[in-house]
Amino acid sequence: MKTIFQFMRRYKWPAAIAFFLMLLELASDLIQPLFMARMINEGLLEENLHNVAFWGGCLFALALFSFISGVLNSFFSAHVAHSFGFDLRKALYSKIQSLTMATYLTFPTSGLITRLTSDVTQTMNIVFMMLRIAMKAPLMTVGSLIMAFLINAKLALILCVSFPFLLIFLVWMVSVGIKLFAQVQQRLDFVNRQLQEGLQAVRLIKAYMRGQYEESRFLSVAENLKFDTIKATRVMEIALPVLQFVMNISLLIVIWVGADAIRDNEILAGDLAAIINYAFRMTASFSIFSFIIIAYARAKASAERIEEILNVEEGIEEVQKNEAPLLEDFSIHFDNVSFRYPTTEQYTLQNLSFSIGSGEKIAIMGATGSGKSTILQLVEHFYEPNSGDIYINDQNIKDIPLQQLRRSISYVPQQSLLFSGTIVDNLRWGQNDATIEQIIDATKKAQIHHSIKSFDEQYETMIGQRGINLSGGQKQRLAIARALLKPASLLILDDSTSALDVATEQKLWEALDQEAITMLVVTQKIQTAQTADRILLIDEGQLHGFGTHEQLMATNELYAKIVASQQEVLAE
């Protein structure tokens, strides 16, 4: 937990104030039994109402002071805990954003969500408990024991005998709890993953009438979470009855021995009452320990999961900023490039070599899984090739600042990702300060302007999460407009027109032909590929052909077969 508690440093003064207020509350709580003893000894036993009123008033004042100190302590503790949680969550999210794709894929998305939500909350809880009760409980225990010794060492020694057993028991509970709650958080990852899949695919589930099956899958992981949570909680809940049992036995012995001491005039009744009060406070403190153990065990397990991300040193990208200048040109050269994803042994690309001139429009074709999208990801420098080199403008891609490279590329993914917000908010992802004239120009080129104008709120129309209230074609055209709005030297379209009709797509390509930038277009359509300057044909990760439509038709048997098969489909 060392790494995450570094985030506490900036809140050291509020934390120090909270600690000081806790000490004031503790001091007043420890003094109260002494005042109670004086009220009994000098007031009730001597039937002196003046002393009863005086010491009773002192007790009330101390109780009020303790209450005010406790309330203020809670205020500062909550401020520190929530501020700490905000900073931790912010740093964790920033670190996740800085991971390379290769490193990012080693962590399941559901696990990252759990870390950002539940795990951060667990660490916030322990910070609050530390400042509010976790430090107070041991100090109250030790302080009560010292005060009891000052009153009567013989009776205090009885309370002291149980300490070694309780300490060993608490250490054992913590070690067991950390392991159990680590398993609970892992089960929570599985639940989040199942939830994520089920909610994102709800339309598909309904279409295939698989609701009952998906419900059974969710119930399975939820049952596992319930089982492990109950198991962990049951083990940890043993702490409270064990602690109370041991302390109550000690308390009974104190009362029994104390009664004999009163009979023999070795101790006053008020002093015995004070020691009993201190014993109750010790019992209450040990009871609090049981809750602290559970919170600490959960927080320790969560902290280790958070630090697993924060301590990643390899696979970190430089901070993304929009300050680097654009690359004026964008030529691409692959020199004998081979690549496989970190999670697989099989190579996706093998010995790939080709050159693309700046300003060229290149169509990339190939069967599913042939490596088309992988080429795009290598150009964007999401991954490093396992062998070979990639050059941009005759410069090794490794030597180009990442923020300059990414700023020079505009990208439209296979799945058109839109975000909750207005249409104009989504479009300005391409350029934050874009004017409405620039936005309209981009949407006209993307053939979506007239559709937007038909909406009641037009460009201020709210888009649901992932663009759920738009058609597939509308989402694709908005994503293309967003990409066109971004100033770039390379435009990448990864099979981004699959939902467009023939007429709309033709108008789109006519508009894109006016853009004087390099284009990489992944497509399965021969009609689309024919609009490109050249066609890059990939088969099983290897270059199978590179040339114009006419050249490939004359020299490449695979390409000719693809053309013939699509023409047959169109003829039907």
Rounded Cα gap, residues 315 and 407, in angstroms: 20
Tell which phi-psi region holds residue 359, choosing left (phi > 0), alpha (psi between -120 and 50) or beta: left
Pick from 101, 70, 10, 7: nearest CA to 406: 101
Rounded Cα gap, residues 521 and 500, in angstroms: 15
Pick from 454, 506, 452, 512: nearest CA to 480: 512
What are 245's two structure tokens?
Answer: 């049992």
For the beta carbon of residue 467, count every other beta carbon within 10 angstroms.
22
pTM for this predicted structure:
0.66
Sequence-distant (≥ 6) Cβ neighbours of residue 25 within 8 angstroms = 66, 69, 70, 73, 136
Tell which phi-psi region holds residue 381, choosing left (phi > 0), alpha (psi between -120 and 50) or beta: left
Sequence-distant (≥ 6) Cβ neighbours of residue 472 within 8 angstroms = 416, 499
- Per-residue pLDDT tens listing for the chain (572 residues): 667 778 888 888 998 999 999 999 999 988 888 888 888 877 777 777 888 888 888 889 988 998 999 899 999 999 999 998 888 888 888 888 777 777 777 777 777 888 888 888 888 888 888 888 888 888 888 888 888 888 888 888 887 777 777 777 777 777 777 777 778 877 877 777 777 666 666 555 655 566 677 778 778 888 888 888 887 777 767 777 777 787 778 778 878 887 877 777 777 888 888 888 888 888 778 777 767 777 777 788 788 888 888 887 765 555 455 566 778 889 999 999 999 887 788 888 999 999 999 888 999 988 888 888 889 889 988 888 889 999 999 889 888 888 888 888 888 887 777 777 788 888 887 677 788 888 888 888 888 888 888 877 888 888 766 656 677 778 888 888 888 888 888 988 888 777 677 777 778 787 877 777 888 988 888 888 888 889 999 888 888 889 888 888 888 888 888 888 777 655 55
DSSP 8-state symbol, 461: P
Pick the CATH number of 4-310 from 1.10.645.10, 1.20.1560.10, 3.40.710.10, 2.40.50.140: 1.20.1560.10
- Domain 332-571 - what CATH class? alpha beta
Judged on CB neighbours under 10 Å (0-12, 13-18, 19+), 362 is buried
Q: Is 1 helix (H, G, I), strand (E, B) or coil?
A: coil
What are the backbone dihedrals phi and psi of residue 121, each rounded to the nearest 5 degrees, phi first?
A: -60, -40
Question: For the chain, what are the domain ranges?
Answer: 4-310, 332-571
